[in-house]
Amino acid sequence: MADNMNNEPGDVQPNDEPLDIKPTDTGERIVPILIQDEMKNSYIDYAMSVIVGRALPDARDGLKPVHRRILYAMKEAGMTYDKAYKKSARVVGDVLGKYHPHGDTAVYDSLVRMVQEFSLRYPLIDGQGNFGSIDGDSAAAMRYTESRMDRISNEMLADIDKETVLYRPNYDGSLKEPTVLPARLPNLLINGSTGIAVGMATNMAPHNLGEVIDATLMLI
């Protein structure tokens, strides 16, 4: 009885009858819902979307979606370590047009980080030109720099053409993209990762590849 006295008029209690579904004149249905339930469900959906789709790496290949799409686009364009460098703007255009429609700056900044030896212990992209400095100097515009996959990235994409991973439709359903790369290398361990999502974050340190291999053999 005392609990009910603290409730405002119109408050819905857990023991109340289910909310009625009200039909409209147009045949649609209006379903009353509690705002706290809707906010909880919407927050969880948004958080999972950010975690899975943008902010945190997949433990299997250690890559966020934008990094995975950059490497896959370079592989599809034939920009392997043994081929000539090509303009970074071409890579950014392919990634934007085919897989990642989130702005050219976000894609290019991610590509630049994959080149920088002071950002990754084992860079995944081989760059030519000004890709910034450890002192905070920004990279040159994408039309001036050139890039290609680094030799180590071949191990990240090895056997991808042999149905080793699952594919999903891209954002407009016109192409397929891998959900994860085959990744013969333990990229998450050797390069680490940093990411801030919704309600979750990660900051993993990089490790020496030789030591990771020794630890794996010891574990086996």
List, by residue number, the catalytic residues. Answer: 144
Distance in angstroms (rounded) separating the CA atoms of residues 211 and 205: 14
Q: What's the half-sphere exposure (Cβ side, CA atoms, 13 Å) at 67? A: 29
Query: Quick check: helix, strand or coil at residue 150?
Result: coil
165 burial (CB, 10 Å; 0-12 / 13-18 / 19+) is middle
Residue with tokens 């891209």: 170
DSSP-derived secondary structure for 32-45: ---HHHHHHHHHHH
